[in-house]
Amino acid sequence: MDAVELASLLCSRLCHDLLSPVGALNNGVELLADETDPEMRERCLELLADSARATANKLKFFRLAFGAGGGFGDLVDTREARTAIEGIYGIDKRIELGWLVAEERLPKGAVKLLLNLTMLAGDALVRGGRLDVGAEQGADRLEIVIRAEGPRILLDPTLRDVMVNGAPDLVEPRAAGAWLAHRLAAEAAGSIQLSSAVEPVLLIGATLPAGE
């Protein structure tokens, strides 16, 4: 898969995820224009605020996960990654988040990999649950671990295959993050590991050489 194909897939994923909050903004504006009851107008404004917040949070997340977020330096402040994750998965309290990253800054590629793996694990918690995000920088390698636990975990076999093996023929917009994660790990001479599909807890791990 070339860079243009990957960019197209990432754009499709971004547009898909933004369709709901942006559509809610549009509907809210239309309702507000026709509503005269003060209480209903207040409710419309609350809905507009929620939709605007959701849109901004998704854009912040995808900017870091897919784009040139964090500037053009080699290192990214991990607080930005934490804020981006909390904005997507912690806003409605459906998912309890745990942050186990001690390093204040990590290489940009590692942060992108961490965010894409977190997105895959978070989306697999279809009925909510707990999502733990961890990273540890050692002398010779960086280890990333994402743990997802909940009443129902659903990670499509295609996403598993793309994430671990690449499998470019299986890549579609919903698998764009899995493909990007695979490429980020492979280009850094690293690897991604997954727990078995029959396990009650989803574990996604990545190992990268130090400094990648």
| pTM for the structure as a whole | 0.87
State the residue range of the domain holding 62. Answer: 3-209
DSSP-assigned letter for residue 135: E
Q: Which residue has the tokens 């369709």?
A: 19
Q: Which residue has the tokens 């997340």?
A: 61
Quickly state the pLDDT bin for 11 (edges 50, 70, 90): confident
CA angle 148, 54, 49 (to 5 degrees): 140
Structurally, how many domains does the chain consist of?
1
Cα distance between residue 66 and residue 10, in whole Å: 7
Residue 110: per-residue pLDDT: 95
For residue range 180-193, what is the model confidence (pLDDT) as tens digits?
999 999 999 999 99
